[in-house]
Structure 1
Amino acid sequence: MEKSCLIPDEAYFTTLNHNQHLGVPGSYKGHPETTRISDRRKPYLARFKNRLKSKLHHWTCYGKWVREMCIFAIRDLPLLSTRKELFANKFHLDKEPLTFGCLEELIFNRTRDDYQKKQMFDASWYSTLGFVSDKVE
């Protein structure tokens, strides 16, 4: 019997992270859908997506909607600059190259300022997340 998976790389890493009996260092040992700080679903930290039919949030999309996913534009930068996720999805470099370039410059400036001790990165929000504090050592 053939089995398929729509997004195999995401399924692979999620499987490693949420099966503590595998003993993978840093994997999550708490309940996969909650955090200590609330009863809401745990935040999806890997990437920020603005989906048209999200059950949790709805943000304005200043770019364009493609298959219910916002393709970010320059006017989306104020929202993108406040997000805590590690990545943002989705950009079309051939349509809105300045959006990606400005975000890249923001990240560079924040990294430089942290390195030069002008502004320190505050990791406190990340350290309180259940899947950070409840990890296999």
Structure 2
Amino acid sequence: MSLWWIIGIAIFIVLIALASKNRKPKQQHTPIHAKAILTRREQQFFQIMQQALPRAYIFPQVSFSAILTTKGFYTRSQFNRKIADFVLCDQNLNIVAIIELDDSSHKGREQQDAARDAMLNEAGYAVIRYAQIPSSAQLQKDLHKYLR
């Protein structure tokens, strides 16, 4: 065999290897399962909020993309997969506050939580965080000013 044949075969093998490396892996469908919209702890908190704030609308598990907007793709990518625990609205469905119920998974995530709060604050939303489920009286005291 000539040197050109060997070089040609080597180039061919390299091209096949590169082509197979750039192929996307087969994506397989995995089973889809139902999931509760709220954890048991969030359900307890939701019930207390409903009792404490009967004239307010409380929406759980709201996508940031439903309450924030921007023209830039980079900025949108910073919030498009985030979820607010609860969005508190007045009787006219104006958002008056975002309520977050933190649990032990938030330990060590203070910077991420601060960045989330900063995005919401930039849009003009108040963010109230609770580490423990507050009493109905505490909720009324904390949120009264937002629901006038």
* Fold-level similarity (TM above 0.5): no
Larger Rg: 2
Question: Between Structure 1 and Structure 2, which shows a larger proportion of helix residues?
Answer: 2
Normalising by structure 1, report the TM-score: 0.29
Higher RCO by CA contacts (8 Å cutoff, separation 6 or greater): 1
TM-score normalized with structure 2 length: 0.27
